[in-house]
Amino acid sequence: MNIRYLPLLFLTFSLLTCIGQEKIPKELKFSFEYLNENWDSKEIEVFKNISKNDSTSPKNYHHGIGRYLRNNLLRHHKQSDSITNYFHSIGIHHYDDMSSIILTSYNRYLNEQDIELQAQIDKYVAYWKPIIECNKNQKIKAVEIYNKYEVGDTLNIKMPVSENNSVIDYPCSNKTLEWEFDETSDLSIDGKITDKYFINNETNVFFTVKVLTKNHLDTEIMMEEVNIGDKFKVVLSTAWKIE
């Protein structure tokens, strides 16, 4: 090779390297540096060489290094606000998702792979979208129910029951969206509203209900014994079916 071309080749390589580095946001670069400082070379090498099918893959660091990242980098570090604000700006709002993106990106970075950041973001946004919609719709429905009924009115409430024979309430998730009442196992009560109120804001609404009938007498409600004639609190933003 002609030696006169070496400076040009070196400059070209340097520019390409810089261009590649610019694809990684500075907040992620800082996270990588944080891991470099807190892991020894052996731990970094182990993490670099894990595979997607390995039981120690990045997604399974959730309860180990993932928790450590959430507590020490994302919550209680001088750069925490900068890093979490960056994630908020790209639509990532949960600490678990942030730490997972950091770890997945770091693994790919160590292996000189494209971190595919946008694909990671899209995956979490897609996961949370139906849950966010569910929460929004539950609040709308809760206010509608709150305005529809008055103290002294009667209503029917159908509730899912766990294997422990106690009523549960699903947070917004696939279970919330898919649950259908089963007369043989789930609880149905008729009740009378004795109080209605909200806490902190007008979408966080509640009824106090006196039980008039109960299809399964021995079934508890949220791990508490509730018999005919007893009163219990009903959170109106719920997976329970209130009619």
Any idea which residue has 């018999």 for tokens?
227
Pseudo-torsion of CA 203, 204, 208, 211, nearest 10°? 80
More confident residue, 177 or 55: 177
Residue 167 structure tokens: 């009523």
Residues of the chain with pLDDT > 70, as a percent, come to 83
What pLDDT, on the 0 to 100 scale, is given for residue 176? Answer: 55
Residue 146 structure tokens: 């709150």
CB 207 within 8 A of CB 193: yes
What pLDDT, on the 0 to 100 scale, is given for residue 20? Answer: 45
> In angstroms, rounded to a whole number, what is the distance separating the alpha carbons of residues 237 and 146?
10
pTM over 0.85: no
Instruction: Give the H/E segment covering residue 208.
Output: strand 205-214
Could you report the per-residue pLDDT of 158-210, keeping only the tens digit for each?
Answer: 999 999 999 998 888 655 556 889 999 999 999 999 999 999 999 999 999 99
What pLDDT, on the 0 to 100 scale, is given for residue 7? Answer: 41
Indicate the SS3 state at residue 57: coil
